[in-house]
Amino acid sequence: MRYESPETTEAAVELLAGEGPRCRVLAGGTDLLVQLRAGMISPERIVDIKRIRETQEIRVDDGALVVGAAVSGAELGEHPQAKGIWPGVVEAAELIGSTQIQGRATLGGNLCNASPAADTVPALIAAGARCRIAGPHGMRTIPVEDVCTGPGQISLGAGEFVLAFEFPVRPPRSSDAYLRFIPRTEMDIAVVGVGINLTLDEGGHCVSARVAVGAVAPTAIVVEKAGATLVGTRCDEQTLEAMAAEVRAACRPIDDKRGTAEYRTAVAGVLAIRATRIAVERARNA
Amino acid sequence: MKGEADSAVDRSKAKDGPAGGSETGGEKGDTPTRWIGTRPVRPDGVDKVTGRARFGADVHLPNMLVGKVLRSPHAHARIRSIDASAASALPGVKAVITRDDFEDRPSEFVPAGEMLVNYRDMVRNVMAREKALYEGHAVAAVAAVNERIARQALSMIRVAYEPLAHVIDVDEAMAPDAPLVHEDLITAGVEPPPTAPSNIAKRIEFVHGDVSKGFAAADIVVERSFRTCPVHQGYIEPHACVASFSEDGQADLWCSTQGHFVVRGHCAKLLGMEVSKLRVIASEIGGGFGGKTVVYLEPLALMLSRKSGHPVKMAMTREEIFRATGPAPGTHIRVKVGMRNDGRIVAGEAELKYQAGAFQGSPVQAGCMCAFAPYDIEHVKVIGHDVVVNRPKAAAYRAPGAPQSEFAVESVIDEMARKIGMDPLQLRLANAAKEGVKAAYGPTFGPIGLVETLEAARDHPHYRAPLAPGQGRGIASGFWFNIGGQTCATLNLGEDGTVALVAGTPDIGGSRASLCLQAAETLGVDATRIRPRIGDTATLGYTFLTGGSRTTFASGMAVIEAANDMIRQLRKRAAMIWDIDADAVRWVDGEARPAGANAGEFTPLSLAEIAGSAGKTGGPIVGRAQINAQGAGPGFGTHLVDVDVDRETGRVSILRYTVIQDAGRAVHPDYVEGQLQGGAVQGIGWALNEEYIYDDRGRLQNPGFLDYRIPVCSDVPMIDTVIVEVPNPSHPYGVRGVGETPIVPPMAAIANAINDALGIRFTDLPISPPKVLKSLREIG
Ligand SMILES: Cc1cc2nc3c(=O)[nH]c(=O)nc-3n(C[C@H](O)[C@H](O)[C@H](O)COP(=O)(O)OP(=O)(O)OC[C@H]3O[C@@H](n4cnc5c(N)ncnc54)[C@H](O)[C@@H]3O)c2cc1C
């Protein structure tokens, strides 16, 4: 097994393309190294992308946030503007693991590991974030929800990797929130996770809303109908209940060691309501 | 002799010597002591925080090999054949062992820890013989020059299994048509003995009074059924050892264990060695809680070392720990209690079914004995069943057997208090066992502190603190026997007057500090001048393991006796120097003084002065003790807990927790508090989240701390503690064991608190969020 740490995107693409499927991108390694040690994977080559400048940047261009794919949760959390603009995305990233894990874990790794329960993914999807992908044929940009195709499966081709996440410019009175349910208070995997991103008008009516749910299907899902339920309302309790009903209807969870399908579905609705309340509160003050 | 005993404890500041221990009902600080009850920094502390301390996997020897175990993928399978030829031929592999390397052993029961072991079973547990009896059961092991080759070799061993139907549930295992874990197991304790084999290894019965009379006199009777899941001790340090056999048949074994003398006995037996040829050295230990009182890797490492001629290191992964080491048993328990309307309990009946795992020997007997022990009840009947199932063999876990049965009883008692509208604490006080009460399991209690813990709970601000709407408060008490047993200790006096203390009980909970304090108190010297060590099996006489909450009590008694032995010699040396009679010398405040005016006028001689001249007065001074410590004091505790329940997700949060326990005497209060807090935290995990999840083929789905959810720091509030001191008259300073009782009350205390919050009585552990939400939805 060989370890490479290229400094440019081009070099990384070349190294990745060369070895084919037996090559792995390394960002923080908090998933990859665990899988390596457990004998779940045995790649020929590991390409560490952390020395590539673009993967490490956090920028705000005219109000649009760009976060490098290999920025750690801790760095994102400490950035002076990121949390103000996208509190839901940043709180999701900060939920990952512990202080030690926070020093390493990245958005790119969380997405590309393709766990249905990954915490940042519903928040990123709700935010409408897009992935900037580098590859042998140059750059392309796709919505986050187009990356994961199933548990452990992503749509990226040979030689491709995620360089950065691009977030849309926010209208006034916009905010987001992410909540997950775990039986413990930390160091656990989401039984359900819900991200919501919304914008209010001056009168406090919701003008747009996007709801995404994790751990209730093979990949995180957008629940268009849930968002639509909120639009035009002041997100009163009755509307929230209707929104939660849409969320529950969209859930297709399995029974496993982390929760029953019935439980996951019930709690998805609860979290959707609670996350919406938080996002509304934030948007009023944004 | 009398003069000696008196002088040993005669300290100018003390009006009453602590020896004899005749005082009862004493409060903290009743007996003036200089060291007992203080909180100095622990002698092993610095090495632990700097990482210098050596744990089981930290021993490295030249030419050392790595040993790895091949484990059964089946919950139950006959082993037709094992072909290890390809693995043996792999370059870098130095030895492969299977069942053929271990001689079979006759069926004989011998005591180990707080349980009995059978070597016929033990030889099969360390290495499967006729059948693999649980997923993770060791089937072969290899030693190779590195881990990669060892793993590769494992993958080359061909095992022909014939999978068999398996059973992991205790009720299913007791059913007449259940798959048999052992085809020759005949239930013991039934007359006449059954003719057909079953999975019920043993039936036991404790009867006290006549329950039918008791229930006839009751105004109300409540009967409930409870289920608990197996739970792991959750020690952080994995099992690890290094074995080194030499060509002349002698061997050294370093391991992380609660009892190296017990390990020596087991390994010598399994390897067919004389015990004197095997020296076992206990490493520092990163937690055990009972789980390190048994052998798993040690006999395999020794066998691999003997076969390869190299030292062999073995360490388990966390996954191996979950799949192959003993948890506390899962249980099914029925409890029936009869009470008069005035709150007097008149009858108690229980039937306990405990999962022993793959081999008999669950702690069901202790479960039966403890079930009603906290109460003074005239009529009690308890029946227990020890049931084998296709899971790893159950091992000790703090107060083995008691938490399950006392959870059931304490839940029923809470329910009855509510029924008659009596405060559950008052109800417990009205029925509490006290000195002179004959316990349902046989003995008559001496001075015990249950009433004192209940009174301390009643008087604690926690008990009266207001609760917010929706929150709940629970209370439960608990009992554990505590033990003494065979123990040695040595005090070696250095030429500068400092002392090397050697004990034979591995230090898990700060016992080296507590032993130093007891030696310092007795010798009258500064505790920092005593350095404690855990001696290996060749350094001391046989010393039973650290378990049964016995170490501070029993090793403490041995250390006190060794100190008195040393004082006897010191007085003799002083007498020699002064040329007077030894009886005319007193030992006071760490120095020899003439006993009175008649003895003559001499300047006192300090420990250092006598030590410095020892060469001229008869040679080295060594205090020794070899005792069989008797009179361990039973431990009682009462826990108070407040909870909040998220009614939409079913998640229970622990808001406040107070542990009150009788320590007899808290030698080093930090470590008593640590035991109390640790028990509460483990109990919170047991109550709320911990469970083994199996698939339909008997394979464990959550072999790691990610999905086997012990609490993390943020899950628990600061656990408040109150130490009650009702001295144990059998110990010179009044010590009782404290390590096990704290795991007994939490499950019932939490279930009772949840009931207080929701009006729902949970009888199945863990009370996990999905269960709570489901019950909430059922009641609407
Ligand atoms: C103790 C612990 C606790 C954890 N807690 C949580 C938690 O609470 N919530 C949660 O969601 N996760 C959790 N995780 C999982 C993990 O930390 C996260 O998924 C993390 O975000 C992964 O990021 P990473 O940079 O470490 O990824 P890596 O391990 O470096 O990579 C993960 C995968 O993504 C691929 N990859 C990485 N970056 C890219 C890229 N830019 N382009 C293409 N492919 C890429 C890698 O090849 C690999 O397959 C935890 C892990 C541990 C060990």
pLDDT tens column, B544-569? 999 999 999 999 999 999 999 999 99
For residues A87 and A256, the model is more confident at A87
CA distance B399 to B481: 8
Contact B489, B501 (CB under 8 A): yes
Smallest CA-to-CA distance from A223 within A186, A275, A171, A152 is with A275
For residues B216 and B597, the model is more confident at B216
Q: What is the mean pLDDT of residues A94-121?
A: 97
Q: What is the mean pLDDT of residues B664-691?
A: 98
Q: What is the mean pLDDT of residues B379-386?
A: 98
User: How many other C-beta atoms are found inside a 10 Å radius of the C-beta of residue B148?
Assistant: 11
Specify the CATH number for B484-629; select among 3.40.50.720, 3.40.50.12280, 3.40.50.150, 3.30.365.10: 3.30.365.10
Domain residues of chain A, as ranges? 2-115+130-166, 174-285
One-letter amino acid identity for A235? C
pLDDT at A258 (0 to 100): 87
User: How many other C-beta atoms are found inside a 10 Å radius of the C-beta of residue B12?
Assistant: 8
CA distance B256 to B283: 5
pLDDT in tens, A191-241: 999 999 999 999 999 999 999 999 999 999 999 999 999 999 999 999 999
Task: Name residue A61's beta-bridge partners.
Answer: A64
**A183, A187, A262 ranked by CB distance to B768: nearest:** A183
User: How many other C-beta atoms are found inside a 10 Å radius of the C-beta of residue B654?
Assistant: 22
CA distance B223 to B333: 11
Check: complex ipTM more than 0.90: yes
Q: Does A265 touch chain B (CB under 8 A)?
A: no
Q: What is the mean pLDDT of residues B651-662?
A: 98
Ligand 1 environment, Cβ below 6 A: A 24-32, 34, 49, 69, 95-97, 101, 104-106, 108-110, 112-113, 118-119, 161-162, 187
CA distance B215 to B377: 12
Contact B336, B348 (CB under 8 A): yes
Smallest CA-to-CA distance from A90 within A73, A106, A104, A108 is with A73
Give the neighbor-by-neighbor strand order of the sheet with A221-222. Answer: A174-181, A192-200, A206-214, A221-222
Beta strands in B481-609 (DSSP E): 485-493, 499-503, 530-534, 585-588, 591-594, 605-606
Find the DSSP H helices in B538-631: 556-578, 607-612, 614-617
pLDDT at B99 (0 to 100): 98
Q: What is the mean pLDDT of residues B343-358?
A: 98
Q: Phi-psi region for residue B549, left (φ > 0), alpha (ψ -120 to 50) or beta?
A: left
pLDDT at B85 (0 to 100): 98
User: How many other C-beta atoms are found inside a 10 Å radius of the C-beta of residue B130?
Assistant: 11
- The residues near B106 (Cβ < 8 Å, ≥ 6 apart) are B119, B120
**pLDDT score of B169 more than 60:** yes
Q: Of A18-22, B425-429, B606-610, B758-762, give the lowest mean pLDDT range.
A: A18-22
Helix (H) or strand (E) holding B752: helix B746-758
Q: How confident is the model at residue B110 (pLDDT cuts 50, 70, 90)?
A: confident
**A187, A260, A266 ranked by CB distance to B712: nearest:** A187
Angle between helices B402-419 and B746-758 (to 10 degrees): 30
Distance from Cα A71 to the centre of ligand 1, integer Å: 12
- The residues near A31 (Cβ < 8 Å, ≥ 6 apart) are A109, A113, A115
CA distance A140 to B242: 55
> Which tokens hold the place of B517?
């304090």
Percent of chain B with pLDDT over 90: 93
Q: Of B116-120, B298-302, B514-518, B705-709, give the lowest mean pLDDT range.
A: B116-120
Distance from Cα B736 to the centre of ligand 1, integer Å: 49
Contact A110, A214 (CB under 8 A): no
Topology classification of domain A174-285 = Enolase-like; domain 1 (3.30.390)
Q: What is the mean pLDDT of chain B?
A: 94
pLDDT at B152 (0 to 100): 97
CATH number of B56-164+239-315: 3.90.1170.50
What is the DSSP secondary structure assignment for residue A79, as one 8-state letter?
-
Name chain B contacts of A262, Cβ cutoff 8 Å.
770, 774
CA torsion angle B133 B137 B143 B148 (round to 10): 130
Q: Of B4-13, B116-125, B143-152, B468-477, give the lowest mean pLDDT range.
A: B4-13
| Residue in this structure with the two tokens 């205390």, named with its chain if needed | B749
CA distance B303 to B271: 7
User: In CATH terms, are B56-164+239-315 and B331-482+633-778 the same topology?
Assistant: no
One-letter amino acid identity for B315? A
Q: How far is CA B275 from CA A42, B264, B278, B280, B627, in A?
A: 45, 7, 5, 10, 20
Q: Torsions phi, psi of B438, nearest 5?
A: -85, 115
User: How many other C-beta atoms are found inside a 10 Å radius of the C-beta of residue B53?
Assistant: 16
- The residues near B324 (Cβ < 8 Å, ≥ 6 apart) are B69, B71, B134, B136, B137, B138, B296, B316, B392
> Which tokens hold the place of B364?
């069901």
Name chain A contacts of B648, Cβ cutoff 8 Å.
267, 270
The CATH class, in words, for A2-115+130-166 is alpha beta
CA distance B165 to B77: 8
pLDDT in tens, B311-329: 999 999 999 999 999 999 9
Name chain B contacts of A184, Cβ cutoff 8 Å.
689, 709, 711-712, 714-715
**pLDDT score of B247 more than 70:** yes
pLDDT in tens, B87-109: 999 999 999 999 999 999 988 88
**B649, B714, B773 ranked by CB distance to A185: nearest:** B714
Percent of chain A with pLDDT over 70: 100
pLDDT at B112 (0 to 100): 60
pLDDT at B123 (0 to 100): 97
Topology classification of domain B331-482+633-778 = Aldehyde Oxidoreductase; domain 4 (3.30.365)
- The residues near A4 (Cβ < 8 Å, ≥ 6 apart) are A15, A45, A46, A47, A48
Using most ligand atoms within 8 A of CB, pick from A101, A154, A163, A182 the residue to mutate for ligand 1: A101
**pLDDT score of B243 more than 80:** yes
Nearest C-alpha of chain B: how many angstroms from A269? 10
The DSSP string of B191-238 is: SSPPSS--SEEEEEEEEES-HHHHHHT-SEEEEEEEEE--B----SSP
Q: How confident is the model at residue B246 (pLDDT cuts 50, 70, 90)?
A: very high
In the three-class reduction of DSSP (H, G, I as helix; E, B as strand; rest coil), residue B475 is classed as strand
CA distance B587 to B9: 8
**pLDDT score of B115 more than 70:** no
The pTM is what? Answer: 0.95
Give the neighbor-by-neighbor strand order of the sheet with B530-534. Answer: B530-534, B499-503, B485-493, B622-629
* Cα angle B757, B401, B224; round to 5: 45
Task: Name residue B452's beta-bridge partners.
Answer: none
Query: How do the residues of chain B divide into helix, strand and coil, expressed in percent and rounded to 5?
Result: 30, 25, 45
Name chain B contacts of A266, Cβ cutoff 8 Å.
773, 777
Nearest C-alpha of chain A: how many angstroms from B691? 10
Contact B374, B450 (CB under 8 A): yes
User: How many other C-beta atoms are found inside a 10 Å radius of the C-beta of residue B176?
Assistant: 6
CA distance B131 to B107: 17
CA distance B181 to B77: 10
The DSSP string of A187-240 is: SS--SEEEEEEEEE-TTS-EEEEEEEEESSSSS-EE-HHHHHHHTTS---HHHH
Contact B651, B683 (CB under 8 A): no
Q: How confident is the model at residue B113 (pLDDT cuts 50, 70, 90)?
A: low
Q: Torsions phi, psi of B701, nearest 5?
A: -95, -15
**A184, A189, A266 ranked by CB distance to B773: nearest:** A266
CA distance B119 to A265: 51
**B contact test, residue of A34, A37, A188, A276 with most B CBs within 10 A:** A188
Give, using CA atoms, the residue closest to atom 33 of ligand 1.
A113
Q: Phi-psi region for residue A232, left (φ > 0), alpha (ψ -120 to 50) or beta?
A: left
Q: Does A207 touch chain B (CB under 8 A)?
A: no
- Could you tell me how many CB contacts below 8 A there are between chain A and chain B? 48
Using most ligand atoms within 8 A of CB, pick from A30, A48, A75, A189 the residue to mutate for ligand 1: A30
pLDDT at B4 (0 to 100): 36
Give the neighbor-by-neighbor strand order of the sheet with A64-68. Answer: A58-61, A64-68, A161-166, A130-135, A138-143
User: How many other C-beta atoms are found inside a 10 Å radius of the C-beta of residue B773?
Assistant: 23
Q: Around B591, how many Cα atoms within 13 Å sit in the side-chain half-sphere?
A: 10
Cα-Cα end-to-end distance for chain B: 75
Torsion sign (Cα): A145, A151, A155, A156: positive
| Residue in this structure with the two tokens 């108070």, named with its chain if needed | B640
One-letter amino acid identity for B63? N
- Please state the length of chain B: 780
Domain residues of chain B, as ranges? 56-164+239-315, 331-482+633-778, 484-629
Q: Does A36 touch chain B (CB under 8 A)?
A: no
Query: Residues 693-752, chain B: which have Cβ within 8 Å of A?
Result: 693, 701-702, 706-707, 709, 711-712, 714-715
One-letter amino acid identity for B475? I
One-letter amino acid identity for A121? V
Smallest CA-to-CA distance from B637 within B672, B689, B686 is with B672
Distance from Cα A226 to the centre of ligand 1, integer Å: 29
What is the DSSP secondary structure assignment for residue A128, as one 8-state letter?
T
One-letter amino acid identity for B720? D
Q: Torsions phi, psi of A67, nearest 5?
A: -120, 125
User: In CATH terms, are A2-115+130-166 and A174-285 the same topology?
Assistant: no
In the three-class reduction of DSSP (H, G, I as helix; E, B as strand; rest coil), residue B634 is classed as coil
> Which tokens hold the place of B492?
């070696």
pLDDT in tens, B258-295: 999 999 999 999 999 999 999 999 999 999 999 999 99
Contact B384, B350 (CB under 8 A): no
